[in-house]
Amino acid sequence: MKNTIILYLNNTRMKFHIPFFLIALSLTGCASIDITVSTSVGSDKDRAAIEQLLVEWERAFNAHDMNALMATFAPKPDSNDGMKFVKGREAIQRRLQTSFEENPNVKTKQTSLDVRFLSPTLAVQTGYWNNDGLETEREKKRKDGMWTCVLEKIDGKWLYLIERGWPKQTE
């Protein structure tokens, strides 16, 4: 974990953020502790898995395959729809299903810009979307935009936990 100190005391592993640890260490007056500092998280394999998840999400969206699309989400995800908070798998599924019903020819192109690892099991991915085949005026106004997602690694698989999107501003 980045900026973390891992202590092993009596066969117990404890993690502390470095600033917290330094404050605690200075207050206790401890002089010598065996520490291991890990400065990198997120392997190339993890990065590739996250990029592949976006490919799977795009493929499922373009096929309007709700089961495959929902398989890319964590058990308790949340999202937004404009300024509306959308919490949980069922609510996200309803939002997507409504969008597909109102825009039966919608297709998307997703472009990943960046992946940052917050821990071995949390990452942030940012990118752009470009949608085509939109029929409703509301969606036509939101055909392009940027998104940020928080992903969680659960049982060895990366899944979307939080997604936020905002449409490109018209000038």
Q: With cut-offs at 50, 70 and 90, classify the pLDDT of residue 170.
A: confident
Q: Cα angle vertex 141, ends 128, 78, to 5°?
A: 55
Give 129's contacts (C-beta < 8 A, 6+ positions apart): 108, 109, 110, 111, 144, 145, 146, 147, 165
Q: What is the pLDDT of residues 85-121, one digit of tens each?
A: 999 999 999 999 999 999 999 999 999 999 999 999 9
How many structural domains are present in the chain?
2
Does residue 57 have a pLDDT over 80?
Answer: yes
> Does 21 share its domain with 59?
no
118 shares a domain with 49? yes
CB 72 within 8 A of CB 157: no
Same domain, 88 and 14: no
Do both 91 and 158 map to the same domain?
A: yes
Q: Which domain holds residue 30?
A: 4-38
Q: Are residues 34 and 56 in the same domain?
A: no
pTM of the complete model = 0.75
- Are both 30 and 68 inside the same structural domain? no
Examine the pLDDT at 1 and tell me if it is beyond 60.
Answer: no
Do residue 116 and residue 162 come from a single domain? yes
Residues 59, 137, single domain; the answer is yes
pLDDT of res. 148? 97
Does 33 share its domain with 54?
Answer: no
What pLDDT was estimated at residue 152? 98
pLDDT reading at 36 higher than 80: no
Q: Rounded CA gap, 15 and 25, in Å?
A: 14
